[in-house]
Amino acid sequence: MTKNEIINLVETTFINYGIKTVSATDVNKSAYVPNIRQKEIFEYFEINPMDRRQDIQIKELFTNRILTMSYYAILREGANRPPEPRMGLQDLISYLSIGDEILFAHDNKNIFIYNLSIITDYEIEEHIYTQIDFDTLEEKARNTDPRPQQVQQTIYTYSRNNTLKNYVKRRSDYSCEMPSCNYQGFQKENGERYIEIHHVIPLSERGEDSINNTVALCPNCHRALHYASNRQELREILLNYLSHL
Ligand SMILES: [Zn+2]
Ligand SMILES: [Zn+2]
């Protein structure tokens, strides 16, 4: 997964994010100075370094590692310059080298950090969708454009549609949403239970690409919805299920 793909995915899933390149001063002074967009993230959680030194815990994206850092303001040299917020402590400083691009992002519950200069082989997409707070994922999924996207994409991007699919998987707790189905399924290599996603009213029949028209189904129920002689009846059952969510 490339850096741009990660940024694109973060943009479609998190509430806000900011990226800054680590400067020589950050490293030499052992204090990282967040940029404006990154400061906004702390403000969102009402963490204000002007009041007092704050210890904050930040989750590292993809690894679940918790990094502890302090956030404080320091008076700068020269007159008429306001105090500058800085971040310190071993966890953060040992993490940074000059030129690294540091991404901070947040959902409703947590602040996340990721050093974009360290590209890993993780199945990053799965990690993001399981780490992000469910309320934030729901908010993003609810606000996807319900008009189906028919554009052929040549560049692989993480569309809002993926946010929608992953929201529905978590809504169902990776089980079949067909009422009365007792699917147990099997686990995938990444530990997630296998489940499929289905549009109750097909996009070809002008169904919406939205959470109100999308369900998680086991492979058997899914095939039945497409091919069973009573598929219209099954469709009604799912529409009724969705209308009561
Ligand atoms: Zn389907
Ligand atoms: Zn089923």
Q: How far is the CA of 220 from the centre of ligand 1 (A)?
A: 11
For 51-60, how does the pLDDT look when each residue is reduced to its tens digit (9 = 90+)? 778 888 888 8
Neighbours of ion ligand 2 (CB under 5 A): 176, 178, 181, 183, 218, 221
Write out the two tokens for 173.
Answer: 């707790």
pLDDT of 78 over the 70 cut: no
Please state, rounded to an integer, the average pLDDT across all residues of the chain.
84
pLDDT in tens, 153-189: 444 445 557 889 999 999 999 999 999 999 988 998 8
Q: How many A from CA of 213 to the centre of ligand 1? A: 11
Residues 201, 210 contacting (CB under 8 angstroms): no
Q: Calculate how far, in angstroms, residue 122's C-alpha sits from the geometric centre of ligand 1.
A: 28
168: its two tokens: 């529905």
CATH superfamily, domain 3-130, is: DNA-binding pseudobarrel domain (2.40.330.10)
Phi, psi of 37 (to 5 degrees): -65, -30
From CA 144, how far away is CA 180, in angstroms rounded? 29
pLDDT of residue 203: 81
| 178 C-alpha to ligand 2 centroid (Å) | 5
**pLDDT average, residue stretch 78-93:** 68
Residue 15 CA to residue 41 CA, distance in Å, equals: 9
Decide if pLDDT at 63 tops 90. Answer: no
Q: Which is higher by pLDDT, 50 or 79?
A: 50
For 66-95, what is the mean pLDDT? Answer: 72
CA distance 54 to 49: 6
21: which 2 tokens? 């390149």
Instruction: Give one word for 77, left, alpha or beta, with left for phi > 0 and alpha for psi -120 to 50.
Output: beta
Residues 6+ apart with CB under 8 A from 69: 55, 56, 58, 87, 88, 89, 91, 92
Measured in Å, residue 225 CA sits from the centre of ligand 1 at 7
Per-residue confidence at 135, pLDDT binned at 50, 70, 90? very high
Q: What per-residue confidence (pLDDT) applies to 155?
A: 46
> pLDDT category, 124, cuts 50, 70, 90?
low
Q: For residues 132-148, give the mean pLDDT.
A: 85
The CA–CA distances, whole Å, from 94 to 69, 103, 182 equal 11, 16, 49
The pTM assigned to this predicted structure is 0.67
Contact 157, 39 (CB under 8 A): no
Highest mean pLDDT range out of 75-79, 142-146, 173-177, 204-208?
173-177
Q: Which amino acid is at 169?
A: K
Lowest mean pLDDT among 93-102, 167-176, 209-218: 93-102
Joined together, the tokens standing for residue 13 give 């899933």
Ligand 1 centroid distance, CA of 196 (Å): 8
DSSP count for the chain of H helices, then E strands = 9, 8
Per-domain residue ranges of the chain = 3-130, 152-243
215 has a pLDDT exceeding 60: yes
With CA atoms as reference, report the closest residue to 54 among 68, 71, 42, 38: 71
At residue 129's C-alpha, the angle toward residues 124 and 134, to 5°, is: 155
**Which percentage of the chain shows pLDDT scores above 70?**
87
- Cα(201) to centroid of ligand 1, in Å? 9
